[in-house]
Amino acid sequence: MSRIFGHIAKMETDVNTYLYHVQRSALIYDEAIQDYMNENIIRFDERLKEIGKLRDEADRLRVSVRTKLYAHMLIPEVRGDVWELLESLYKVIDVTKKSLENYSFEKPVIPEFIKADFLNMSEYITKTVDELVNAVSAYFSATSMVNEFSNKVRFFENEVDKVEDTIKRTIFSTDKIQTLAERIQLRYFAEKMALVS
């Protein structure tokens, strides 16, 4: 019996560490976007590498939790739900990394007059992920709080959508952006950022 409880305790530790990695990836993402907007590319590249390491570690933890769930027959009635939840959270880290990689590869020039909008979107993305992690954590420990955190996730996700729309409206209505290609690229980056939330 103590072996079963030992596996459960280890799995709980892995899940908590996993959630920490998801939350941290959003914080690093926000810092990386700030670095990019402030043209601190060296620091931006360091943060991109940091998210890559977090993603690799989260992947290892995800596999570890899955192994414990299925090999030790832990929480059989909801293990599929738990696994699906962890898979969905992994996509958050993966999308943050891909979004930053796109900045690194394409190096878009963000006009000064919309940098604040991109920064605002990044801040709302961080808040969305933070509340998502709180909701998942509550799912395991305080189910009565899940709905409250989920409502906050929806609120901040909606704010991200509003900022995305503002950016798109601005870039396609201003005469400060010269070419259609620049407008399309900026729209693309706004859409890719919004995917994180």
The predicted-structure confidence for 95-112, as pLDDT tens digits, reads as follows 999 999 999 999 999 999
| Higher-scoring residue by pLDDT: 30, 15 | 30
Q: Which has more confidence, 71 or 139?
A: 139
pLDDT in tens, 61-75: 888 888 877 776 556
Burial class (CB in 10 A: 0-12, 13-18, 19+), 49: exposed
Q: Which one is predicted more confidently, 47 or 4? A: 47
Q: What is the tens place of the pLDDT at every residue in 167-180? A: 999 999 999 999 99
- Angle, helices 2-37/79-106, rounded to nearest 10 degrees: 20
**20 burial type by CB count under 10 A (0-12 exposed, 13-18 middle, 19+ buried):** middle
**Residues 187, 171: contact at Cβ < 8 Å?**
yes
Note the pLDDT of residue 11: 73
Q: What integer pLDDT is reported at residue 72 of this predicted model?
A: 63
C-alpha closest to that of 10 among 51, 60, 64, 47: 64
Question: Tokens representing 11?
Answer: 């799995």
Query: What is the pTM assigned to this prediction?
Result: 0.89
Reported confidence tier of residue 131, pLDDT bands at 50, 70, 90: very high
Average pLDDT across the chain, whole number: 89
